[in-house]
Structure 1
């Protein structure tokens, strides 16, 4: 499939701002989704990565594309490849968000680039999000979104190396309920997370896909449980898909001043890798 990169680069520098109140109810639902406890009272510190549940546009159902995302060509460029994934990024934390504050997200598209991967051409869109509350910087996040074509039938699958074992491990069950609740929290109607016929027949996956930000939240929570306190910075990179109805093992190991983290199915390849620094 041919891509007009120069046309897509017209989106470089595009900006948008969205604000939303962080309520005790949303905080409680976030904690319940991840089976975690924490204060939901006004003024309490928000759970780590709850910001992914805030500041989403209320796109009418009639304005969704065939994949469940908003139709392309709005804030994000109209990349023609059908498969869209959150590839990773980084987060720098500046100050805590409190329950009851109004969060504002200001987003800027920084780059659109074409790269060649093992399965063909990939289009990467890099977005910088700056989050504020009461004129106070909360965090800065870089998100890397990747678009790719659907692989042709009969294409060779590459052998994937099993993930190494961390010095610390925790097993999580990726259930349909977890995917459903996280999609609801993030107002995410991407069909690969809940529509099995679409995920398998249209996009060629063997099962429903675990959200990238959901895995990032699990790894971030694990980092805090192991080391305590909010990290100064988190980095994430998606490697291979993680599927529903399967255990997902969270691994962690200390390396120099970093805590290295990664997720993987038992005996399978790395799904997402991350690092945390304090």
Structure 2
């Protein structure tokens, strides 16, 4: 049996150029003005469009994620998803410039939850502009068992009231396809509705967690016009199917509390952004 703790401390380094087209295509996907230029600041969380790895199709698993056992540990549990993340924005990243990402596995925790066995893996990503650290991201990944018909229903938390700003998001198959393509994400839950329902137990196609996080930080940035200093988000319940949902937030202290509210009123994601002085 493989000791997955042996993966602690593993590192990989990737280099890329922050080319203009992916950022423009992302703006278009979100119905934003795509008129970005080389030298402009890369909008928050768009770094996910870069440093992508081209795994051959033959090396993908049943869910179309890369097969386990490369940089990430070979966790035996079959389902993988984003659990959350924390970010520190040190310096702006600019379009058209080369950048470097160093990733380190910093934590591996196995536990039993209400739905069965879980494994949490945390990866720290540090993105450099030359020798200067521009962005630190702690990325939490959760692995879990396949859904069981005997499992208790998930406990859903209601979304908060009292939003200062609220916007409706209308998912579509095209939006999910575009984001999957822009991030070279083959996970079938985002485009194969039969797989999403029959194998992973969702109610329909799943809205990407990082896309929800991007919409939330964009909401705060557009509402305040301020530059984020830090951001954290946590996924609490999946957004599945094409029903509209809401992204909302309110000012608290020197930041913004943010959340995504499903059509049934459940809290899908919570987040907080702190602004630079």
Aligned 8 A contact 1:174 1:243 in 2: no
2:178 — aligned with what?
181
1:191 — aligned with what?
188
Q: Does 1:265 align with 2:262?
A: yes
Q: Does 1:23 align with 2:13?
A: no
Aligned 8 A contact 2:260 2:268 in 1: yes
Structure 1: 4+ residue segments shifted above 4 A: none
Question: How many aligned residue pairs are there?
Answer: 274
2:243 — aligned with what?
246
Report the CA distance between 1:38 and its aligned residue: 5.0
Of the candidates 192, 202, 205, which is equivalent to residue 205 of structure 1? 202
Q: TM-score, normalised by structure 2?
A: 0.95
Return the alpha-carbon distance in structure 2 between the equivalents of residues 38 and 48 of structure 1: 15
Gaps of 5+ in 1: none
Report the CA distance between 1:92 and its aligned residue: 0.4
Gaps of 5+ in 2: none
Aligned 8 A contact 1:124 1:145 in 2: yes
Q: Does 1:228 align with 2:251?
A: no
Of the candidates 115, 121, 128, which is equivalent to residue 125 of structure 1? 121
Aligned 8 A contact 1:124 1:147 in 2: yes
Report the CA distance between 1:198 and its aligned residue: 1.0
2:41 — aligned with what?
45
- Of 38-47 and 134-143, more deviation after overlay is shown by 38-47
Q: Per-residue displacement from partner, 1:222-274 (whole Å, max 9, x unpaired)?
A: 01011212210000000000123111201101223331000011342111100
Q: Per-residue displacement from partner, 1:52-95 (whole Å, max 9, x unpaired)?
A: 11101111111111110111000000111111110001010011
Aligned 8 A contact 1:16 1:106 in 2: yes
Q: Does 1:68 align with 2:53?
A: no
The CA RMSD over aligned residues, in Å, is 1.4
Aligned 8 A contact 2:156 2:237 in 1: no
- Of 221-230 and 9-18, more deviation after overlay is shown by 221-230
Report the CA distance between 1:42 and its aligned residue: 1.3
1:92 — aligned with what?
88
Of the candidates 15, 24, 31, which is equivalent to residue 35 of structure 1? 31
Return the alpha-carbon distance in structure 2 between the equivalents of residues 21 and 158 of structure 1: 42
- Which secondary structure does the structure 1 equivalent of 2:223 belong to? helix
